[in-house]
Structure formats: structure tokens, C-alpha cells
Structure 1
Amino acid sequence: MSKLRWGVLSTAQIGRTQVIPAIQRSNNGEVVAIASRNQQKADETAIELGIPKTYDSYDSLLDDPNIDAVYIPLPNAMHKEWMIQAANKKKHVLCEKPVAITNSELDEMLTACKKNNVVFMEAFMYQFHPQHQKVKQLIKEGVIGDVAFMRASFSFYLEDRSNIRLSNELGGGAMFDVGCYTLHAIRNILGQEPSSVYASANYHPKLKVDMTMTGTLNFDNGIVTSFDTSFDSVSRESYEVVGSKGSITVTSAFRPDTNEDMAGEIIVSKDDGTTEVVKEAGDQYTLMAEDFADAVLNNQPLTYDLTAMQNQMKVLDAVYESSKKGEVVKL
């Protein structure tokens, strides 16, 4: 098998505009089928993106023996059901974030994954962009001294109040949608897990989903971090790492692919008053697809493995628990 043969469950926008084209740009994957409960949508998307086969149900696609792996961009509350269904059909699974609604859901998914010996990964694509490795390198080299603080933000104003992102039943909310990136980035860049979480949120009185959430992750080595996310604020997607001798700011932390040449900007400010701007380019969606396919085709370890997924879900669980109880949650 020279290329991984992908099927896609649903015609969701993230798949149509980002992930499917990224797989098609990859050197080790091809999209061979797409399924939708609306046959017309499946057919239109297939024509638009050059996908050879369509199905009018997810089950039919999973029954196709010529599909090796599936990408699942369904609503959050549907991830568990269809990941388990796919695993039981021996399909490897790349699933959109958040991979589950709760840590207990993830446990069920991991059980199915291990039982069926399939590769399973959560689609946190941002981490594959080379700008983050550059940040880690700068921190390791002591460019900003000892790290004391980190903050991460990801927000946008959601005008359409009927959007699926605001459906409590389908796992909506700002933290599930984009805020989870901030938690991931803090843990990813610092390379460690928090010991406690505190979060505060504004929940929509009728929709019962978080519209804005902010909070802190504290670490045993004394590093303090903060995160914020919102559907009610202007677009923001950045993080800053502050040390004893300077700071590093990443201005397009999560969607540098929207910039010219898919380049991220890293601003290094030092205590001597100097500032350096570093550019790092990379196709994060394609790099993610290639990493996953390499794991399946060549039995290579995933860059983002099952343990890392579990750790992310534990923190996300704790953040929601803290926001509802109004108290610190220890991990």
C-alpha cells in the first residue's frame, strides 16, 4: 500500500475547505470516498473536490473494503458513536477536536481502538506547524531566561446564533470549539501537565453553552498560565511565553495557514530592548495528514499519541468542572 485510502464522514465545512484538500496535497494519502446523509451534498462535494465515490450513509462508507482510514468532522457529540463504529469496521480514525465530550467517552473510544488494533488520533493540526518547534527551541536555548508565565487566547465573534457551535446537545460551546486549543498549546509548549485548574465562564442563559471562558492552569514547578476563549469577542489567536529575560509572542498561533505562504510570526522581545521577528512556514493540515498516514502505512509512532490525547481530555474535563462549580480543581 503506497498511499492511505481515506473516506470522510460528512460534508462538514472543515473537511471540505481544509482537511480534504490537505490530504490531497499529501504525499502518502488520497481521498477515495465521502459520505453524507444527504446524497446530493455528497455528490456536489465529490464533484467539487474530485472524490471518486460517494455514499448516502456513514455505515455504507465504513463497509467499503477499499477504505483504510476515515476522517470524522461530525459534531462533537457524535464523535464517540462513529469513532467506535469505524474502529469496529477496522478503519483507522482521524477525529476532529475535541475528540470526545468527556474523559469517560474517550476511555470507551480507546478501548475500541485497542480492541481492533487501529490507529486513532485527534486532529489538533496546529501542533504540526514548525513555528511551535521553533518556540520550544528558543525556550530550551534560554533566549528568554526562565519561564514564569504563559497565556493563550483563541476567540472569534459568532454572528449566527443558530450555528451548530451553540448547540448544547451536540457538544457546543467556545471552549470545546476553539478554547481547547489554548489548553493544548500551554501544555504542548511547556511540555508538562498542570497540577490544578481554575475557570470562570459566561454560559448562555437559554442555550446552556459557554460563550466566554477564561482561567488558569498552574504547574508544580511554579509556572502560572492563563487561557481565554469566546464567541463574543473579536478574533484573537495568539500565545505569549514570558521569562526572566524576555518574551516570545506567536501572533498566528493556531491558523497560520491563513497567512501568506502559511507562515507563522514569532516575536522575540528581550530585556535589553531588542526585538527579533522570526518567520516559520509550514502546511499544518497536510503535515498532520502525513503524520497519521505514516503511522498506519509504516507502523511509525504518532507525533500526538493516545496518552497525550488522554491528558488533554483530563484537563478539558477539569476546566468545565471548575467553571460550573466555581472552584479550583486539582489534577
Structure 2
Amino acid sequence: MALAKVRWGMIGCGDVTEVKSGPAFQRVPKSELVAVMRRTGNLAEDYAKRHGVRKWYDDADALINDPEVDAVYIATPPSSHKVYTIKAAKAGKPVYVEKPMALNFAECNEMIAACKVAKVPLYVAYYRRAQPKFLKIKELLENNVIGDVRFVSTTQYQKAAEDVLNKQNPPWRTQPELSGGGLFFDLGCHTLDILGFLLGSIKDVQGFASNQAGYYHAEDIVTGTYQFESGVHGVGSWCFSAYEDVDTNEIIGSKGKITFSTFGHNPVMLTTSCKTEQWEFPAIQHVHQPLVERIVADLTTGSDQTPSTGVTGARTNWAMDELVKNNKKLQK
């Protein structure tokens, strides 16, 4: 049954919720963030007061079972995504879960199954699928402006951030038991997911992952090749201990190429033998907002148009698992 208005409960009040996601629930029509939860109660209370949220909790079960909460947004590290998703599903509430969807593909499937049994939708926060920049790229591909797509190349590397050098108190993103892997799971997932959106699902993967710099235990470099169901080939390199930051994707076709970044704000470039064009897109303050708009529209109209679901999110986890599985075997 369609909701008149979506009243959200949010589990987790970390950095991602301050600007990227939290305010979006208040700005979308027919949507309201009514409750937040953090295990440290005074921090949950502080977040609620600063963001104009009526309720706060230090217990996730209390938020999930609050009768004024219609849907649950899970903004915790991946290690708790499965348990909270299953609890929300059993409470009969739609779920919007942060990316990566879970620690691994097997957990994703458990989440999908629980939501299917409960007959509630499951959405994953791969918000680029709804942003104008990436919709423009999809439009160019669908209009065949570069002809038949042959392959896609991804090169993403960056300097080691200061926080990952802290071996006494490492960030959760570099702890596989919390994140599923290293920074590749936190960042590389965005690129793999948007490529799945643009080119179709990845069906075959071969990869290598290792730890070169030794700053933490998880992999810090991943390289691989993959083939999409469409027949398009792909090659990717991700390194998180390089000397500079680079973020480039190129989709190559029989008549031209499209060049774009996953995280940066440089223009989308179209290059053919006849011309070069570019499109600029302003930075979006609340990056989740376009996707939240689609989710709210689905929940209030009964439609099924949201492009990022449990099924698509699980495919991204599967691809990552395949790319790093050689390193997982070495760690055992």
C-alpha cells in the first residue's frame, strides 16, 4: 500500500549523514526524518537537535519498532547492515541501506531474501544512479553517440590519507571485519556500481588484490578485468598508496569515447572523429537527494522506478568479492 508520506528513521549518525544524506530526507516532498539512532545517546540527541529531528534513540530496535517510523535508513558500517535490514524487514518497513550493501555477496542475498519474505522493498545508497551527470552519460550511450561500446577502462589511485596511517586507531573503512575489505570496498564500489548501471551487469570477473604499503591489513591495490552481460569488456586499477590522486573512466566505442570521473566534478567529455563536446554539472550538496526523491516517489505512488535496489547492490558486492578473492585466500 502506498504511503501518504514517508517518515524515516535513521540508524547511525556518522559523517555521511551530516550533509550527504541526512538533510535530503527533510528536503524531499512527502518525506520527513522523524527519528535518529546512535549507540551513544548524547550524540544521537545532539544530531537530532541540530537537524530538527523530533526523536532520538540509543537502541536500534526501539527506532525500528517506533510506529511513527515508516521506513528505515541504515547508515552504519557494513558489518551491521544485514542484521538491521532483517530486523526492519520483519517489522514490515522498507529499507534504504548504505553502500557497500553488506560485508559480502552471501550477506546481500540474505538481506534480499528477508525483504522478499516480508514483502518490503530494499534500496541501496548507490546515489550516482539518479544524478544528472550519470544520467547524461547513460543518455549518450543509449543514443549510440559512440557507436557500439567495446570496453571501459578505469584508473583510480590516491595518496594514503592521514587517518589510514594511524595503526593504533585505524578507520573502520580499512578493517575488513567492519567494511568487508579495504578502501576498495568503500570507494571502488561506486565505480563498479555505476558501470553496472551504464553498461549492464558484470557477468565474469578476474582480479588480483594485495597489500603493498602495509599501512593496514586489508588490500590497498586491486586490479582486474571483467566482462558485462552485454559483451562489453572492462579493465580497472585501484591503488590507495600512490603519489597523487587520479580518477578517470573511459568508455570506448566504435565511433568515439566518453571520459568522466566517478568522484570529481570535471566535465563529462565526448570525443569522436568529428567533434569534442563536454557537459558540466554543478556539485550536489546533498548527494543522496536525487535517489531519495525516486525512493519516496515509489513508496508514495506504488511505482517501481528506483534504479538502485538490493539486487543491483548485491551484484556490485559479488564483483568486488571476485576481484579480491585471491587476497582473501592468502589471508586465511
TM interval, short-chain normalised:
0.7 to 0.9
**Which amino acid in structure 2 is aligned with residue 309 of structure 1?**
G
Match of 2:253 among 228, 240, 243: 243
Residue 222 (structure 1) shift: 5.2
Aligned match of 1:317 in 282, 297, 321? 321
**Residues 154 and 178 in structure 1, CA contact (< 8 A), matched pair in contact too:** no
Amino acid at match of 1:294: A
RMSD (Å) for aligned C-alpha atoms: 2.4
Q: How does 1:69-218 map to 2 (within 5 A)?
A: 69-156=71-158, 157-161=160-164, 162-171=170-179, 172-202=181-211, 205=214, 207-218=216-227
What is the aligned partner in structure 1 of residue 302 from structure 2? 299
Percent identity, aligned pairs only, is 29
- Cα distance in 1 between the residues matched to 2:328 and 2:99: 22
Structure 2 residue aligned with 1:228: 237
SS of 1:210's partner is coil
Q: TM-score, normalised by structure 2?
A: 0.87
Match of 2:167 in 1: none
Contact kept in structure 2, 1:154 and 1:182, CA below 8 Å: no
How many Å separate the matches in 1 of 2:300 and 2:130? Answer: 19
Partner amino acid for 1:21?
P
Q: Secondary structure at the match of 2:140?
A: helix
Q: Displacement of 1:154 after TM fit?
A: 4.6
Q: Establish whether residue 56 from structure 1 lines up as the match of residue 28 from structure 2.
A: no
- Of 57-66 and 234-243, the range deviating more from structure 2: 234-243
Q: 1:71 and 1:299, CA in 2 relative to 1: closer, same or farther beyond 3 A?
A: same
Size of the aligned set, in residue pairs, is 317
Q: 1:33 to 1:235 in 2, by over 3 A?
A: farther
The SS at the match of 2:177 is coil
8 Å Cα contact 1:173/1:209 also seen in 2: yes
What is residue 39 of structure 1 aligned with on the other side?
41
Greater shift in the superposed pair: 108-117 or 218-227: 218-227
Q: Residues 187 and 194 of structure 1 are in contact (CA less than 8 Å); yes or no, is this contact kept in structure 2? A: no
Match of 1:308 in 2: 312
Name the SS of the counterpart of 2:288 in structure 1.
helix
Q: Deviations over 1:63-119 (max 9, x none)?
A: 211001111111111111111112122221100111111221112111211122211
Aligned partner of 2:298: which letter? A
Distance 1:88 1:222, change over 3 A: closer
Match for residue 11 of structure 1? 13
Match of 2:293 among 287, 290, 295: 290
Can you give the 5+ residue segments of structure 1 that lack an aligned partner in the other structure? 257-263, 327-331
**Match of 2:144, SS?**
coil
- Superposed displacement of residue 212, structure 1: 2.1
Change in 2 beyond 3 A, CA 1:222/1:4? closer
TM, length-normalised to structure 1: 0.87
Farther-moved stretch of structure 1 (113-122 vs 187-196): 187-196
Asked whether the equivalents of residues 9 and 74 of structure 1 are also in contact (C-alpha less than 8 Å), the reply is yes
Structure 2: stretches of 5+ with no match in the other structure:
165-169
Aligned counterparts of 1:221 and 1:5: Cα–Cα separation in 2: 39
Mapped contact 1:152–1:239 kept (Cα < 8 A): yes
Residue 277 (1) aligns with residue 285 (2): no
Partner deviation per Cα, 1:22-43 (whole Å, 9 max, x = no partner): 1112112110111111111011
**Matching residue's letter, 2:291:** M
Residues 1:55 and 1:196: Cα distance change in structure 2 (over 3 Å): closer
Q: Which has the higher contact order (CA 8 A, sep 6+)?
A: 2
